[in-house]
Structure 1
Amino acid sequence: RALLLLACAVGGRPASRTFAPRHIASSARTPPPTAPPTFDDWAAKGVPPPAAGDLVDRICRAVNFACRQTVVGSVRRAVALRRAPEQPGERGFAGFLAKATSPPELPPVSRPTWLVIAASVPTLLGWYGFYKFSTEEELFWEELRTTGRATGCGGYGTLLPFVYAVLLGGAGQLAGVHGSETLVEAGSAWILAGQVNLYRRVNELCAERGEQPPLYAWWALLPPPIDLIVGLRQLHFLAKRNAAARGEDWEGDAVAERLFPFISAPRFTLREFARRPSIWFWFTDGVPDIDWAWLQEVAPEP
Structure 2
Amino acid sequence: MNTRQLQHFIALIENASLSAAAEAVHLSQPALSRSIRALEEQLNVPLFTRTDRRLRPTQYALAWEATARRMLMNENEGKRLLQRMQTGESGRVALGMGSSLMDELICPLLDTMLRDLPEVQVKFSVDTSAPLLNMLRSRQIDLFVGDASIARYQQDLVVESLFTCGFAWYASSQHPLAQTKNSDIAMLKAWPMVIAAGYFDPAIIEHMETLYGFTSGLYEHFGVLSNDFQLVHHLMRSSNAILIATDISMLEALAAGTVVKLHVTPPLAITLTLGILRLTDRELPPVCERVMTLIRERFRLAEIRRTQITGR
Higher relative contact order (CA 8 A, sep 6+): 2
| TM-score relative to the length of structure 1 | 0.22
Structure of larger gyration radius? 2
Structure ranking higher in helix proportion: 1
